[in-house]
Structure 1
Amino acid sequence: MPSFVDDLSWLVKKELVMKRSPKGRLELTWMGKESALIPVEEGKYDYAWVDPDDPRAREIKSIEVLETVGEFDGPAGANQNLLIIGDSGDALRSLATIPECHDKYAGQVKLVYIDPPFNTKQTFEHYADQLEHSIWLTMMRDRIRDIKPLLASDASVWVHLDDAEVHRMRVLLDEEFGAERCATQVVWQKRTTRENRSAFSDNHDHLLVYTNCPVTEWRESRNRLPRGKASKNPDNDPRGPWDSVPFTAQGFRANQMYAITTPTGVVHLPPPNRCWGAVESEYERLLADGLIYFPKSGSGKPRVKQYLSDAPGLVPQTIWTSGEVGENDEAKREIQALFPGHIPFDTPKPERLLSRVIHIGSNPGDLVLDFFAGSGTTAAVAHKMGRRWIATELQDTTANQFIVPRLTMVVNGADQGGVTTLTERAAVDDLPENLTPEEAQKFNTYLGRVLKAVEGVDTATIKVLREATRTRDEKTVQWHGGGGFTVAKMGPSMYEVDDEDGEVYLSDQATNGAWSKAVAGQLKFTLTPDHPVFCGARRRQRLAVIDGVVDETVVRTVVENLAHNERALIVGKGVIPQADALLRSLSPGSRIKKAPGDIFPKATVN
């Protein structure tokens, strides 16, 4: 028999184990986390809490095409690019579920850029941005889950936020993707001026970057940043554009100390405390291969060519300055140039910022998704960069007044702003070693300020310094127009729910072809619009949607139109008692469902 002391010892050990191994997990909780949200008023960020199984949260709405703009076919045509007007949650569920959309988009999205309403309690002209924390978190959680079926295996998700929600969103993304899938948190300098009315001047935003595969795998597929503009191939080298670096190395090596004679007869020795970049025989080989360049019309010190196609890119850093990727004011100027006289969006994003995101996370031909389209910057930049794209926008006024006209200008080649033209700072001649054109430009700016304050400076020295650091802007037109896009809207809801008893009813919209199309999408049947009886097909099963009562005549007509080994699913608004038995006897395996109860059982509704 165990003694009291033994029992006490066991309890003490158990208590110690429990303290060392507590139950639970690290997570973010909020009111309504276990619920879902449904829109209360169309076109606004106004939601109500419902059970996740509520038909209004599970309904697959149809996607109705409104128009196409530009070319239809081709890799950048309207059949590849899609703007959807309506609630993003509805749109994402439909894209992942409707067979025609699922077959085209599931597992295809390479990059998702999410610029949600920031929940800053501000009122914007074009954004309803007043979302309470719990509603905001649920809305974002649901949409993150909705995009998962669409993601490619090596996709990345970029979430753009300010300080108001970034800390909560990072924990939420850790829960949805796993903390180990967080690639980084980028800081973007969104403004350069100082806000003197605040305790601290808010000059930055965040971009949370998560991957759909281990970060180490994504690192191998993501793109590095270009090293800057290469020379314009002044000697017409058949190997393509090139830049050059000094043909020197640190230190002293006796076999790398020799005289080099330039094409103009000037003799050079290695600079102090350095030697040439290779032994003389290797230099002779490089020279014979046309890989040695002599600046200053053939009199300068030797440099080695580096071809643009061979130069390794730069690993992206986590701080992005306005000089690199633009700021909010630059984005406002871009929109004002497209829409003169209009008040711009309050927090638009510059095209250069989206260009960097899209460059890092995708390649030409890849599919880019933005389900808070706003001013349409993501779609515009993706189009210019040769990516396919999907964008959704809640408010039809924003879509019709800004996004559609903007993208039409992109397609027509009338948008000359943003990344249409690439402006890069380039050296007039070879710069000193390890000095970039941007640094040389800054040097001259600072030098000018110093000269204004200092007298008696040697002008000859100043002239030499300025001559050695001369730069200029070089512009390259990257986009000339082309392609097209499709404009669509989310179809109306086919169902209503009585909030008192949870009973599901068909709405006034559930009539004729609209209802048949919605039922086919909900039940994952591919539409067969040309068939006289069946509106959908799924393998060997055929779908018949009856806008009325399923009776004996309906059953016999359906069975008569079935091919060998085919079965039918009949959905009707009413069913006579004998219909189901008759169908089973005539076509074993075929079924009847009465809408809406059999599609959304009452038990699924609170």
Structure 2
Amino acid sequence: MPTLNWIGKDKVLNHHLEVPFHVLERQYSFDEAGKHEEDNGSENMIIHGDNLLALKSLLPKYEGKIKCIYIDPPYNTGNENWVYNDNVNDPHIQRWLHQVVGKEGEDLSRHDKWLCMMYPRLKLLQRLLADDGVIFISIDDNEQANLKLICDEIFGAGNFVTNLIWEKKFSRANDAKYFSEQHDHILIYAKQKNLFFLNKLPVEEEQTSRYKNPDNDPRGAWQSIAYNCNKNADERPNLYYPVINPNTGKEIWPDRTRVWSYTKDRHEENVANNLVYWGADGRGKPRFKKFLDTQSGLVPMTIWKTDFAGDNQFSRKEYRAIFGTDAFDFSTPKPTKLIQRILQIATNKDSIILDSFAGSGTTAHAVLNMNKADGGNRKFICIEMMDYADTITAERVKRVINGYGEGKKAVDGTGGNFSYYELGEPLLVDDKINNAVSTEKIREYIYYMETKQALPEASADEPMLLGVYHGAAYYFNYEKDASTTLNAAFLKSIKTQAEAYVIYADTCVLSENKLQQFHITFKKIPRDIARL
């Protein structure tokens, strides 16, 4: 398989493993009662912080659980002034750190930097996807080819689904130097393509309006479709035969280049079942009657026009309707209609949706709209590194929940809730547990690293017990300001019966024979805490 090489690739191939694990700190929650400090238990999250660190912080709870990811990363046109500042600890890459990436004439390595920025993030996104999950990535022609190659490498070329073309502009830009750019790409990859199931799009009014019932057929409304196919008489000689119009008695042959779609026996069944339409006057060529109640849905196409998925003009109007004309300028927010189309085909009513380049919060808005429309319980996780994460991203979601606009332009609220998080402290500092991190966060991390499962509720009888998984009981004997010991007294305090035990403590005074007798694996704090 062809692979892509660039400056710095060897330094970022495993960079996602070197990134320190940070905890997430909830700042406030929001629901129809407004903003408050109390935790409302919302599974919707808006996270402010570097998205590489934030993605890693999601792993203990969400690895393998995200059904749908949508991201709209920097397109690297040379105009965005995005910052590449990942702390890749290598002298050869240090010259890139904290540098604004500008026009190609000013910075010849901007494509290398873009790839270095994207690669570790895509590696973490791939881990977060569920086995039947799918990722949608918006991009333009500046990096589409490069993105396709690194996605082939990370997700597997066999998991490529398609390249959607979205018509982002309807009107021609007549002042364009070469071509008026009308489209963006949306690359789609599944985690495991054989498990990925694509929903069909609902049959909408435009399609249903074509169905009529001029002959009062008791089976309901129908439309006529072509009776022939794209095969020729040499390819399908059994489909090249004459049919008789029952109203005229005339013999009708198909064209040799487009024979009938049905065998002679099947045609006779169609006639017997009143499935053949002979035209308004009954004297025409045969057409097949297709009934509305047999239309289960529409297979999505790979070109999404503005009337189907919205465009940039629509998204700007939508954004200004929420914030007003003097709002912070987002030149190219995505329309909610585009994201809702993605949610229609790629999620169910209980899916978790992740957007790690959240921008103005369109993805959260689209999720709330969908839940209101069909009574679903989809959850969103949105990550935004810029300082407007609270004042724009979260603020938009608040207004969508409560409703916005005035008078005839008022939009009813969707209802819903979310919690707002900041990226917190690293869990380990210089290979030691960071005392600034809460014990509960440490427990979540330890249990995940052992089992790849979310931490169960704490046991009132055994506060040191993390949980039981696959026959093993896990204990974290830890106190922030004291040294803990695995000794006979601790063994006596254990109440959970298990086939084996994994026990963390600062020290152990039990003999090897004793550990083997009770099937205990001792792990020393912090030496044996695995690095995520």
* TM-score of the alignment, normalized to the shorter chain, above 0.5: yes
Residue pair 2:160, 2:190 contacting (<8 A) in 1 also: yes
Match in the other structure for 1:541: 474
1:493 is paired with a residue whose SS is: strand
Give the Cα separation in 2 of the matches to 1:511 and 1:281: 72
CA distance in structure 2 between the aligned counterparts of 1:480 and 1:152, rounded to whole angstroms: 33
Counterpart of 2:23 (choices 44, 51, 61) is: 61
Aligned partner letter, 2:466 = A
Q: Please say if residues 28 and 172 of structure 1, whose CA atoms lie closer than 8 Å, have aligned partners that are also in contact.
A: yes
Contact 1:35 1:52 in 2 (8 A): no
1:170 maps to which residue? 148
Superposed displacement of residue 335, structure 1: 0.5
- The residue number in structure 1 matching 2:301 is 317
Contact 2:133 2:196 in 1 (8 A): no
Q: Using a 3 Å threshold, how does the CA distance of structure 1 residues 480 and 495 change in structure 2: closer, same or farther?
A: closer
Q: Mark the CA change 1:322 to 1:220 in structure 2 (over 3 Å): closer, same or farther.
A: same
Paired residues of 1:155 and 1:213 also in contact (CA < 8 A): yes
Does the Cα contact within 8 Å between 2:72 and 2:137 map onto a contact in 1? Answer: yes
Tell me whether 1:343 sits opposite 2:328 in the alignment. Answer: yes
Shift of 1:245: 3.9
In the TM superposition, what is the alpha-carbon distance from 1:522 to its structure 2 partner? 5.5
Inter-CA distance 332–282: structure 2 relative to 1 (3 Å threshold): same
- 2:135 match: 157
Residue 113 of structure 1 is matched in structure 2 by: 70
List aligned pairs for 1:447-466, cutoff 5 A.
none
Instruction: State the one-letter code of the partner of 1:581.
Output: V
Match of 1:33, as an amino acid? K
Correspondence for 1:212:
191
Farther-moved stretch of structure 1 (539-548 vs 483-492): 483-492
Within 5 Å, give how 1:184-195 maps onto structure 2: 184-191=162-169, 192-194=171-173
Q: Please tell me whether the aligned partners of residues 132 and 190 of structure 2 are also in contact (alpha carbons under 8 angstroms).
A: yes
Question: Larger radius of gyration, structure 1 or 2?
Answer: 1
Conserved in 2, the CA contact under 8 Å of 1:62 and 1:521? Answer: no
- In the superposition, relative to structure 1, how do residues 508 and 80 fare at CA in structure 2: closer, same or farther (>3 Å)? closer
- Give the superposed CA RMSD: 5.1
Which residues of 2 match residues 66-77 of structure 1 at below 5 A?
Answer: 66-70=28-32
Q: Name the structure 2 match of 1:369.
A: 354
Task: Determine the C-alpha separation between the residues in 2 that align with 1:338 and 1:115.
Answer: 21
* 1:196 to partner: Cα distance: 1.7
Q: Deviation at 1:116?
A: 1.1
Structure 2 residue aligned with 1:485, among 417, 427, 436?
A: 417
Pair 81,494 (structure 1): closer, same or farther in 2 beyond 3 Å? closer
Change (3 A) 1:350 1:395: same
Distance 1:570 1:311, change over 3 A: closer
List runs of 5+ in structure 1 lacking aligned partners: 1-24, 38-49, 72-76, 260-269, 296-301, 422-478, 498-502
State which drifts further: 507-516 or 333-342. Answer: 507-516
Q: Is 1:380 equivalent to 2:380 in the alignment? A: no
Residues 518-597 of structure 1: matches in 2 within 5 Å? 526=455, 528-529=457-458, 531=460, 534-539=463-468, 540-550=473-483, 558-563=490-495, 565=497, 567=501, 569-571=503-505, 575=506, 579-581=507-509, 589=520, 591=522, 593-595=524-526, 597=527
**Paired residue type of 2:330:** F
Cα distance in 2 between the residues matched to 1:332 and 1:138: 31
The structural deviation recorded for 1:411 is: 3.5
Equivalent pair of 1:189/1:322 in contact (CA under 8 Å): yes
Matches within 5 A, 1:422-501: 482=414, 484-494=416-426
What is the aligned partner in structure 2 of residue 426 from structure 1?
none
Q: Does 1:400 align with 2:390?
A: yes
Offset, 1:118: 2.0
Alpha-carbon separation, structure 2, partners of 1:52 and 1:362: 27
Q: 1:384 to 1:550 in 2, by over 3 A?
A: same
TM-fit CA distance, 1:334: 0.6
Deviations 1:432-464 (A, max 9, x none): xxxxxxxxxxxxxxxxxxxxxxxxxxxxxxxxx
Whole-Å separation in 2 of the counterparts to 1:583 and 1:238: 83
Alignment length (residue pairs): 460
Any conservation in 2 of the 1:85–1:399 contact (CA below 8 Å)?
yes
AA partner of residue 369 (structure 2): K
CA–CA distance in structure 2, aligned partners of residues 385 and 563 of structure 1? 47
2:518 is equivalent to residue 599 of structure 1: no
The answer to whether 1:141 aligns with 2:119 is yes
Deviation at 1:332, TM superposition (A): 0.5
Conserved 8 A contact 2:136-2:189: yes
**3-state secondary structure, aligned to 2:186:** strand
Mapped to 2, the partners of 1:304 and 1:415 lie a distance apart of 49
Aligned AA for 2:78?
Answer: K
State the TM-score, normalized to the length of structure 1. Answer: 0.61
Cα pair 1:256 1:280 within 8 Å, conserved: no
Q: Offset of 1:511 from its aligned partner?
A: 6.1
Q: Given that residues 462 and 495 in structure 2 are in contact (C-alpha distance below 8 angstroms), is that contact kept between their aligned partners in structure 1?
A: no
1:223 equivalent in structure 2:
200
Q: Which of 84, 98, 118 is the aligned partner of 2:47?
A: 84
**Match for 1:256: what amino acid?**
N
Q: Distance in 1 between matches of 2:317 and 2:83?
A: 17
In the aligned structure 2, how far is the partner of 1:234 from the partner of 1:255? 25
Specify the SS of the correspondent of 1:93. helix
Specify the code of the residue in structure 1 equivalent to 2:175: N
Whether the 8 Å CA contact 2:71–2:138 is kept in 1: the answer is yes
Give the Cα separation in 2 of the matches to 1:121 and 1:542: 52
Q: 1:204/1:232 Cα in 2 relative to 1: closer, same or farther (>3 Å)? A: closer
Q: From 181, 197, 205, give the equivalent of 1:202.
A: 181
CA distance in 2, matches of 1:174, 1:491: 30
| d(CA) in 1 for partners of 2:155, 2:389 | 31
Contact preservation (8 Å) 2:310, 2:337:
yes
For residues 47-58 of structure 1, what are the structure 2 equivalents within 5 Å?
Answer: 54=18, 57-58=19-20
Contact 2:155 2:189 in 1 (8 A): yes
Amino acid at match of 1:591: F
Matches of 1:582 and 1:219 in 2, distance apart?
50
Conserved? CA contact 1:258–1:280, under 8 Å: no
On the 8 A contact 2:42/2:419 being kept in 1, the answer is no
Residues 198, 345 of structure 2: 8 Å contact kept? no
Q: Looking at secondary structure, tell me which structure has more helix per residue.
A: 1
Paired residues of 1:82 and 1:487 also in contact (CA < 8 A)? yes
2:481 aligned counterpart, secondary structure: strand
